[in-house]
Amino acid sequence: MSSAPDHFHPHQTPQRPMFALGLRLLSALVFSVVLLLVKLTGERGIWLPEALFWRQLIPATLILGWLASRGDLVRLRTARPLVHARRAAIGTLGMVLTLGVVQLLPLAEATVLAFTSAIFAVILSVVLLREKVGIWRVSAVALGMIGVIIMTGPSQGHLPVFGVAVGIGAAFMVALVSIQLRELGRTEEPITIVFYFSAMSAPFLAMALPFTDHRYQAPFHHDLMGWLMIGAIGVLGLATQMLMTAALRYGRVASVIVMDYAQFGWSTLWGWLVFDHLPPTTTWLGAPAIIGAGLIIAWREQVRARPQTGDETVTA
């Protein structure tokens, strides 16, 4: 396909740190509502793959219809279809894990496990990029791991092992997706990235519908409330993707991901209000360690990104 539209100059996009932080903070709130709705649809008997199918089909349809109505389909042109396909493949698996874990664990605990994505980002930088890390980031990884052990250790019977594994797997995939989003953001508009992710993943999710688990409702057979919840997941999911992608366009990853930690507060609130669940002591002890690890990593990324003078170098 042809290159990006002439009016889009990604390399000239000005960095607006405070605006990026605000976008990411808002995305954390919206995404916490999406997680709540996914958990509720599961309890209503709606199979996760169907909820995710609509979660992707609705944004793709809305974006396509909006751009077509404006005669602006040119904004979907891209010279990187294979990169979009790779992002869609990894992103779909990550979405299945990220949204699926809330049906296996309480909202607060599922959210905290997602924060280990910062830890995986450091590990991936060493394994894949052969990047050298110093005492600060090594200590942050160790602190985060201690937090995970405290919260999910063998003695903590309130968290199923499979659910914990799914939560950690989701965090790993989020780390991969964040790297890809930053790469795509250099040449593509947020709306282009979101459209291709949704449009490319929806058909694969649709292939799972004939194999719906017999314990759940048959596809497309839902009451009004079920459809309203599915629709809300799609619309709010689109809003989350746009906000997160735009935040990465106007600010650096290390800066904006700090706002994601607000999601723990929202998830705890929804868990208490909707499910009458408050996290146990182990979660309150482990969560600060995991969040603290992420904040240290974000801070060191800020330091490493500052221009250095002379022979000065920073090893994080």
**What are the pLDDT digits (tens) for 244-280?**
877 877 777 666 766 777 888 889 999 999 999 888 8
- The whole-model pTM stands at 0.79
More reliable by pLDDT, 5 or 261: 261
| Token pair in block for residue 173 | 């995939």
For residue 195, count CB atoms less than 10 angstroms from its CB and return exposed for 0-12, middle for 13-18, buried for 19 or more. Answer: buried
Given a contact cutoff of 8 angstroms between Cβ atoms, the answer to whether 208 and 49 are in contact is yes
Distances (CA, A) of 164 to 47, 119, 291: 20, 16, 17
Of 159, 178, 55, 161, nearest to 107 by C-alpha is 159
Collapsing DSSP to helix, strand or coil, 306 comes out as coil
Question: Cα–Cα distance between 101 and 99 in angstroms, integer?
Answer: 6
Look up residue 153 and give its two tokens. Answer: 């250790």
Q: Could you tell me the two tokens for 296?
A: 């240290």
pLDDT in tens, 281-308: 888 888 888 888 888 877 776 676 665 5
Q: What is the pLDDT of residues 13-24, one digit of tens each?
A: 567 777 888 888
Which amino acid is it at 75?
Answer: R
